[in-house]
Structures are given as structure tokens and as C-alpha cells.
């Protein structure tokens, strides 16, 4: 399993980078609930991140 982030949109990518989130390990550490509060991280980016972690999407 890769530790790379999935391909998310540019706004989400900028928000994640600004928050220091560069790998899936970073996503696990911070948590997707906290990332949902970042400006630029929308429902699609959260779904992609959760799927990359192997978690069910909350659709």
C-alpha cells in the first residue's frame, strides 16, 4: 500500500500542504474530521482520503 495522498483537487492539495499533511500517515495522525474543517477540503477530497485509508466513505 502506498503512503502517497490520492489525487485531490488543487484547493484541497494546497490546504493539506499548508496544514503539513503530505502522506496518508499524516492524514491518519490528523484525522479526516479535522481536515474537513480546512478551507478547500470538500466532500470529494474527504471521500478520496477516506477511501485511500481503507475506510468506508460517509456518503
What's the predicted TM-score (pTM) here?
Answer: 0.86
User: What pLDDT is attached to residue 3?
Assistant: 84
Q: Do the beta carbons of residue 58 and residue 39 sit within 8 Å?
A: no
**Alpha helices (runs of H) in 1-59, residue ranges in sequence order:** 10-18, 24-30, 32-35, 43-53
Give the total residue count for the chain. Answer: 59
Mean pLDDT of successive 10-residue segments in the chain (59 residues)? 88 97 96 96 97 77
User: What pLDDT is attached to residue 58?
Assistant: 60
Domain ranges of the chain: 10-52
Amino acid at each position: 500500500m502506498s503512503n502517497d495522498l490520492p489525487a485531490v483537487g488543487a484547493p484541497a492539495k494546497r490546504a493539506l500542504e499548508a496544514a503539513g499533511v503530505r502522506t496518508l500517515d499524516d492524514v491518519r495522525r490528523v484525522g479526516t474530521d479535522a481536515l474537513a474543517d480546512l478551507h478547500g477540503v470538500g466532500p470529494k477530497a474527504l471521500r478520496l482520503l477516506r477511501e485511500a485509508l481503507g475506510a468506508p466513505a460517509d456518503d
